[in-house]
Protein backbone atom coordinates (compact mmCIF):
# COMPACT_ATOMS: atom_id res chain seq x y z
CA UNK A 1 0.00 0.00 0.00
CA UNK A 2 1.41 3.40 -0.98
CA UNK A 3 1.83 6.25 1.50
CA UNK A 4 -0.94 8.21 -0.22
CA UNK A 5 -3.34 5.27 0.01
CA UNK A 6 -2.61 5.16 3.76
CA UNK A 7 -3.35 8.88 4.09
CA UNK A 8 -6.60 8.59 2.17
CA UNK A 9 -7.81 5.60 4.18
CA UNK A 10 -7.04 7.42 7.42
CA UNK A 11 -8.96 10.46 6.22
CA UNK A 12 -11.95 8.35 5.22
CA UNK A 13 -12.01 6.61 8.60
CA UNK A 14 -11.86 10.00 10.35
CA UNK A 15 -14.82 11.22 8.30
CA UNK A 16 -16.77 8.11 9.24
CA UNK A 17 -16.02 8.64 12.94
CA UNK A 18 -17.00 12.31 12.78
CA UNK A 19 -20.27 11.46 11.06
CA UNK A 20 -21.12 8.80 13.64
CA UNK A 21 -20.42 11.30 16.42
CA UNK A 22 -22.94 13.80 14.98
CA UNK A 23 -20.27 16.31 13.95
CA UNK A 24 -21.57 19.31 11.99
CA UNK A 25 -19.85 22.49 10.82
CA UNK A 26 -21.02 25.15 8.38
CA UNK A 27 -18.02 26.90 6.88
CA UNK A 28 -18.19 30.72 6.72
CA UNK A 29 -16.20 33.18 4.61
CA UNK A 30 -12.50 33.59 5.43
CA UNK A 31 -13.23 37.08 6.76
CA UNK A 32 -15.86 35.77 9.18
CA UNK A 33 -13.46 33.02 10.22
CA UNK A 34 -10.79 35.61 10.90
CA UNK A 35 -13.16 37.68 13.02
CA UNK A 36 -14.15 34.66 15.10
CA UNK A 37 -10.44 33.98 15.69
CA UNK A 38 -9.90 37.56 16.82
CA UNK A 39 -12.30 37.07 19.74
CA UNK A 40 -9.53 35.20 21.53
CA UNK A 41 -5.94 36.32 21.92
CA UNK A 42 -4.78 32.69 21.75
CA UNK A 43 -7.40 30.41 20.16
CA UNK A 44 -7.18 26.85 21.45
CA UNK A 45 -9.48 24.00 20.45
CA UNK A 46 -11.80 22.60 23.10
CA UNK A 47 -13.38 19.86 20.96
CA UNK A 48 -13.26 18.16 17.56
CA UNK A 49 -15.45 20.85 15.99
CA UNK A 50 -12.81 23.44 16.92
CA UNK A 51 -10.09 21.20 15.46
CA UNK A 52 -11.71 20.07 12.22
CA UNK A 53 -14.10 22.98 11.65
CA UNK A 54 -12.49 26.13 13.01
CA UNK A 55 -8.95 24.81 12.33
CA UNK A 56 -7.83 25.81 15.81
CA UNK A 57 -4.58 24.53 17.31
CA UNK A 58 -4.90 21.94 20.06
CA UNK A 59 -2.75 20.33 22.73
CA UNK A 60 -1.97 16.68 23.48
CA UNK A 61 -4.82 16.30 25.94
CA UNK A 62 -7.60 16.60 23.37
CA UNK A 63 -6.90 13.14 21.89
CA UNK A 64 -5.56 9.94 23.38
CA UNK A 65 -1.95 9.02 22.60
CA UNK A 66 -3.12 6.31 20.17
CA UNK A 67 -5.52 8.67 18.39
CA UNK A 68 -2.85 11.35 18.13
CA UNK A 69 -0.34 8.89 16.70
CA UNK A 70 -2.82 7.54 14.14
CA UNK A 71 -3.82 11.04 12.99
CA UNK A 72 -0.19 12.06 12.64
CA UNK A 73 0.76 8.91 10.73
CA UNK A 74 -2.13 9.53 8.33
CA UNK A 75 -0.91 13.08 7.68
CA UNK A 76 -4.14 14.54 9.05
CA UNK A 77 -2.45 16.56 11.79
CA UNK A 78 0.92 18.22 12.07
CA UNK A 79 2.87 19.79 14.92
CA UNK A 80 2.88 23.58 15.26
CA UNK A 81 5.35 24.50 17.97
CA UNK A 82 4.16 22.87 21.17
CA UNK A 83 0.65 22.43 19.73
CA UNK A 84 -0.97 20.51 16.87
CA UNK A 85 -3.13 21.54 13.92
CA UNK A 86 -5.30 19.65 11.47
CA UNK A 87 -4.20 19.82 7.84
CA UNK A 88 -7.79 19.27 6.70
CA UNK A 89 -11.20 20.65 7.51
CA UNK A 90 -14.59 18.94 7.51
CA UNK A 91 -17.69 20.84 6.39
CA UNK A 92 -21.35 19.83 6.44
CA UNK A 93 -23.60 20.07 3.42
CA UNK A 94 -27.04 18.74 4.34
CA UNK A 95 -26.37 15.27 5.73
CA UNK A 96 -23.04 15.00 3.90
CA UNK A 97 -19.52 15.71 5.14
CA UNK A 98 -16.74 16.99 2.88
CA UNK A 99 -13.03 17.09 3.59
CA UNK A 100 -11.10 20.06 2.22
CA UNK A 101 -8.14 22.28 3.12
CA UNK A 102 -7.74 23.70 6.61
CA UNK A 103 -7.95 27.43 7.32
CA UNK A 104 -6.13 29.54 6.24
CA UNK A 105 -5.97 28.35 2.63
CA UNK A 106 -2.56 29.82 1.83
CA UNK A 107 -1.04 26.96 -0.19
CA UNK A 108 -1.35 27.03 -3.98
CA UNK A 109 -2.92 23.56 -4.04
CA UNK A 110 -5.48 24.37 -1.33
CA UNK A 111 -8.96 22.95 -1.89
CA UNK A 112 -11.55 25.56 -0.97
CA UNK A 113 -15.02 25.09 0.52
CA UNK A 114 -17.23 27.92 1.74
CA UNK A 115 -20.38 29.97 1.11
CA UNK A 116 -19.83 29.77 -2.66
CA UNK A 117 -19.97 25.98 -2.30
CA UNK A 118 -23.35 26.10 -0.59
CA UNK A 119 -24.76 28.37 -3.30
CA UNK A 120 -23.28 26.15 -6.03
CA UNK A 121 -24.94 23.13 -4.42
CA UNK A 122 -28.32 24.88 -4.47
CA UNK A 123 -27.93 25.66 -8.19
CA UNK A 124 -27.21 21.98 -8.92
CA UNK A 125 -30.04 20.70 -6.76
CA UNK A 126 -32.47 23.12 -8.40
CA UNK A 127 -31.45 21.88 -11.84
CA UNK A 128 -31.75 18.22 -10.87
CA UNK A 129 -35.24 18.79 -9.50
CA UNK A 130 -36.33 20.43 -12.75
CA UNK A 131 -34.59 18.05 -15.17
CA UNK A 132 -36.58 14.97 -16.11
CA UNK A 133 -34.44 13.89 -19.06
CA UNK A 134 -31.98 11.07 -18.28
CA UNK A 135 -28.42 11.96 -17.30
CA UNK A 136 -26.15 9.31 -18.75
CA UNK A 137 -22.87 11.20 -18.35
CA UNK A 138 -22.03 14.21 -16.22
CA UNK A 139 -18.83 16.05 -15.40
CA UNK A 140 -17.78 18.40 -12.60
CA UNK A 141 -15.08 20.71 -14.03
CA UNK A 142 -12.52 21.87 -11.46
CA UNK A 143 -14.14 19.56 -8.95
CA UNK A 144 -12.24 20.73 -5.84
CA UNK A 145 -13.69 18.75 -2.95
CA UNK A 146 -16.07 16.99 -5.35
CA UNK A 147 -19.31 18.59 -4.21
CA UNK A 148 -20.85 18.84 -7.68
CA UNK A 149 -19.88 15.31 -8.64
CA UNK A 150 -21.16 13.81 -5.38
CA UNK A 151 -24.50 15.62 -5.51
CA UNK A 152 -25.13 14.51 -9.09
CA UNK A 153 -24.03 10.93 -8.45
CA UNK A 154 -26.22 10.70 -5.37
CA UNK A 155 -29.29 12.00 -7.21
CA UNK A 156 -28.71 9.97 -10.40
CA UNK A 157 -27.37 6.54 -9.49
CA UNK A 158 -27.47 5.42 -13.13
CA UNK A 159 -25.22 8.25 -14.36
CA UNK A 160 -21.50 8.02 -15.08
CA UNK A 161 -20.13 11.02 -13.19
CA UNK A 162 -16.65 12.34 -13.96
CA UNK A 163 -14.77 14.71 -11.65
CA UNK A 164 -11.83 16.57 -13.21
CA UNK A 165 -9.23 18.94 -11.78
CA UNK A 166 -5.61 19.93 -12.40
CA UNK A 167 -4.93 19.69 -8.65
CA UNK A 168 -3.96 16.18 -7.46
CA UNK A 169 -4.94 17.12 -3.92
CA UNK A 170 -8.46 17.94 -5.09
CA UNK A 171 -8.75 14.57 -6.83
CA UNK A 172 -7.67 12.70 -3.68
CA UNK A 173 -10.18 14.61 -1.55
CA UNK A 174 -12.94 14.05 -4.11
CA UNK A 175 -12.29 10.31 -4.00
CA UNK A 176 -12.52 10.30 -0.19
CA UNK A 177 -15.65 12.44 -0.15
CA UNK A 178 -17.38 10.30 -2.76
CA UNK A 179 -16.66 7.12 -0.83
CA UNK A 180 -17.79 8.71 2.42
CA UNK A 181 -21.05 9.74 0.72
CA UNK A 182 -21.58 6.15 -0.41
CA UNK A 183 -21.63 6.91 -4.14
CA UNK A 184 -19.89 4.45 -6.45
CA UNK A 185 -20.49 6.16 -9.80
CA UNK A 186 -17.88 8.93 -9.49
CA UNK A 187 -14.49 8.71 -11.22
CA UNK A 188 -11.81 11.37 -10.73
CA UNK A 189 -9.36 12.32 -13.50
CA UNK A 190 -6.48 14.75 -13.76
CA UNK A 191 -7.52 17.09 -16.55
CA UNK A 192 -7.19 20.71 -17.63
CA UNK A 193 -10.93 21.34 -18.02
CA UNK A 194 -12.11 18.67 -20.50
CA UNK A 195 -8.86 18.06 -22.37
CA UNK A 196 -8.23 14.61 -20.85
CA UNK A 197 -11.78 13.22 -21.11
CA UNK A 198 -13.62 12.26 -24.27
CA UNK A 199 -17.18 12.31 -25.50
CA UNK A 200 -20.30 14.28 -24.76
CA UNK A 201 -22.10 15.04 -21.51
CA UNK A 202 -25.73 15.48 -20.53
CA UNK A 203 -24.75 17.71 -17.61
CA UNK A 204 -21.64 19.84 -17.14
CA UNK A 205 -21.20 21.77 -13.89
CA UNK A 206 -18.44 24.11 -12.77
CA UNK A 207 -17.65 26.44 -9.88
CA UNK A 208 -14.33 27.97 -10.96
CA UNK A 209 -12.16 30.50 -9.11
CA UNK A 210 -13.05 34.03 -10.14
CA UNK A 211 -10.78 36.37 -8.20
CA UNK A 212 -7.85 38.42 -9.43
CA UNK A 213 -5.38 36.97 -6.95
CA UNK A 214 -2.04 38.77 -6.88
CA UNK A 215 -0.36 35.55 -5.69
CA UNK A 216 -2.08 33.59 -8.52
CA UNK A 217 -3.07 30.71 -6.25
CA UNK A 218 -4.79 28.14 -8.46
CA UNK A 219 -7.80 27.62 -6.18
CA UNK A 220 -8.55 31.37 -6.19
CA UNK A 221 -7.14 32.99 -9.34
CA UNK A 222 -9.45 33.08 -12.35
CA UNK A 223 -7.05 34.81 -14.72
CA UNK A 224 -7.73 37.70 -17.05
CA UNK A 225 -8.01 41.30 -15.96
CA UNK A 226 -10.43 40.64 -13.09
CA UNK A 227 -10.62 36.87 -12.65
CA UNK A 228 -13.08 36.20 -15.50
CA UNK A 229 -10.83 34.34 -17.96
CA UNK A 230 -11.30 30.80 -16.64
CA UNK A 231 -15.09 31.13 -16.53
CA UNK A 232 -15.13 32.36 -20.13
CA UNK A 233 -12.88 29.48 -21.18
CA UNK A 234 -15.15 26.94 -19.50
CA UNK A 235 -18.15 28.21 -21.47
CA UNK A 236 -16.18 28.17 -24.72
CA UNK A 237 -14.87 24.62 -24.25
CA UNK A 238 -17.93 23.08 -22.58
CA UNK A 239 -20.57 24.10 -25.12
CA UNK A 240 -19.25 21.81 -27.91
CA UNK A 241 -19.18 18.90 -25.46
CA UNK A 242 -22.87 19.07 -24.55
CA UNK A 243 -25.07 16.32 -25.90
CA UNK A 244 -28.36 17.30 -27.54
CA UNK A 245 -30.59 18.30 -24.64
CA UNK A 246 -27.54 18.60 -22.39
CA UNK A 247 -27.09 21.40 -19.86
CA UNK A 248 -24.15 23.50 -18.69
CA UNK A 249 -24.40 24.95 -15.17
CA UNK A 250 -21.76 27.52 -14.34
CA UNK A 251 -21.60 29.24 -10.98
CA UNK A 252 -19.07 32.07 -10.90
CA UNK A 253 -18.33 35.59 -9.74
CA UNK A 254 -18.17 38.77 -11.79
CA UNK A 255 -16.39 42.03 -11.03
CA UNK A 256 -18.87 44.70 -12.13
CA UNK A 257 -17.45 47.91 -13.62
CA UNK A 258 -19.49 51.09 -14.13
CA UNK A 259 -22.71 49.10 -14.20
CA UNK A 260 -21.43 46.65 -16.82
CA UNK A 261 -20.99 42.85 -16.61
CA UNK A 262 -17.79 41.94 -18.53
CA UNK A 263 -18.42 38.20 -18.20
CA UNK A 264 -21.87 38.42 -19.76
CA UNK A 265 -20.45 40.59 -22.55
CA UNK A 266 -17.81 37.92 -23.28
CA UNK A 267 -20.15 34.92 -23.42
CA UNK A 268 -23.20 36.35 -25.19
CA UNK A 269 -21.69 35.96 -28.70
CA UNK A 270 -21.09 32.24 -27.98
CA UNK A 271 -24.75 31.73 -27.10
CA UNK A 272 -26.38 33.57 -29.97
CA UNK A 273 -28.48 31.68 -32.50
CA UNK A 274 -30.92 28.81 -32.18
CA UNK A 275 -28.51 26.12 -31.01
CA UNK A 276 -28.67 27.12 -27.34
CA UNK A 277 -31.24 28.32 -24.85
CA UNK A 278 -29.92 29.99 -21.74
CA UNK A 279 -30.67 31.88 -18.55
CA UNK A 280 -28.37 34.10 -16.53
CA UNK A 281 -29.09 35.52 -13.10
CA UNK A 282 -27.38 37.18 -10.17
CA UNK A 283 -27.64 35.05 -7.05
CA UNK A 284 -26.00 37.62 -4.78
CA UNK A 285 -25.21 41.17 -5.91
CA UNK A 286 -22.37 41.83 -3.49
CA UNK A 287 -19.85 39.33 -2.10
CA UNK A 288 -16.24 39.58 -0.90
CA UNK A 289 -16.47 43.36 -0.61
CA UNK A 290 -13.09 43.42 1.12
CA UNK A 291 -11.47 42.51 -2.21
CA UNK A 292 -12.27 45.98 -3.56
CA UNK A 293 -9.37 47.27 -1.47
CA UNK A 294 -6.91 44.97 -3.30
CA UNK A 295 -4.71 46.04 -6.24
CA UNK A 296 -6.47 45.67 -9.57
CA UNK A 297 -9.95 46.30 -8.21
CA UNK A 298 -9.76 50.10 -8.22
CA UNK A 299 -12.55 50.45 -10.82
CA UNK A 300 -14.75 47.62 -9.57
CA UNK A 301 -18.08 48.63 -8.01
CA UNK A 302 -19.02 45.23 -6.63
CA UNK A 303 -18.44 41.52 -7.07
CA UNK A 304 -21.61 39.56 -7.84
CA UNK A 305 -22.09 35.80 -7.97
CA UNK A 306 -24.06 34.58 -10.97
CA UNK A 307 -25.49 31.35 -12.35
CA UNK A 308 -25.43 30.56 -16.07
CA UNK A 309 -27.60 27.73 -17.35
CA UNK A 310 -27.28 26.71 -20.99
CA UNK A 311 -29.18 23.94 -22.77
CA UNK A 312 -28.18 22.67 -26.20
CA UNK A 313 -31.17 22.22 -28.51
CA UNK A 314 -29.42 20.96 -31.65
- Convert the pLDDT of each residue in 256-314 to its tens digit: 999 999 999 999 999 998 899 999 999 999 999 999 999 999 999 999 999 999 999 98
Percent helix, strand, coil in the chain, to 5, is: 35, 25, 40
Domain boundaries along the sequence of the chain: 3-90, 115-312
What does the alpha-carbon distance between residue 186 and residue 178 come to, in Å, rounded to a whole number? 7
The CA-atom distances, in angstroms, between 10 and each of 74, 88, 162, 170 are 5, 12, 24, 16
- Looking at CATH, the fold of the domain delimited by 115-312 is given as Rossmann fold (3.40.50)
**What is the per-residue pLDDT for 286?**
96
Contact of 11 with 88, CB cutoff 8 Å: yes
The model's confidence at residue 221, banded by pLDDT at 50, 70 and 90, is: confident
Is residue 62 classed as helix, strand or coil in its secondary structure? Answer: helix
Is residue 150 classed as helix, strand or coil in its secondary structure? Answer: helix
Mean pLDDT score, 2-21: 83
Closest CA to 15 of 105, 76, 83: 76
What does the alpha-carbon distance between residue 300 and residue 282 come to, in Å, rounded to a whole number? 16
**What is the per-residue pLDDT for 151?**
98
Q: Between these two residues, 214 and 209, which has the higher pLDDT value? A: 209
- Convert the pLDDT of each residue in 146-175 to its tens digit: 999 999 999 999 999 999 999 999 999 999
**What is the per-residue pLDDT for 5?**
56
What does the alpha-carbon distance between residue 168 and residue 33 come to, in Å, rounded to a whole number? 26
**What is the per-residue pLDDT for 2?**
44
Query: Number of C-alpha atoms within 13 angstroms, CB side, residue 294?
Result: 14
Neighbours of 187 (CB within 10 A): 17
The model's confidence at residue 1, banded by pLDDT at 50, 70 and 90, is: very low
Amino acid sequence: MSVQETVDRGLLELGQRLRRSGYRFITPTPLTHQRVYQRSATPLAKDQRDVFGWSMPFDNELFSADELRALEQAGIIEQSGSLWRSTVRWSSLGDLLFAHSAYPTTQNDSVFFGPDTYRFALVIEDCLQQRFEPIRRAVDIGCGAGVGAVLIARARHEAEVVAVDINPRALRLTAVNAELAGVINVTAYHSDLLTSVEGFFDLIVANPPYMNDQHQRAYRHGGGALGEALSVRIVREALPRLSIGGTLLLYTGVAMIAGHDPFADAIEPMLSGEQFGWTYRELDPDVFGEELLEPGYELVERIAVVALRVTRFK
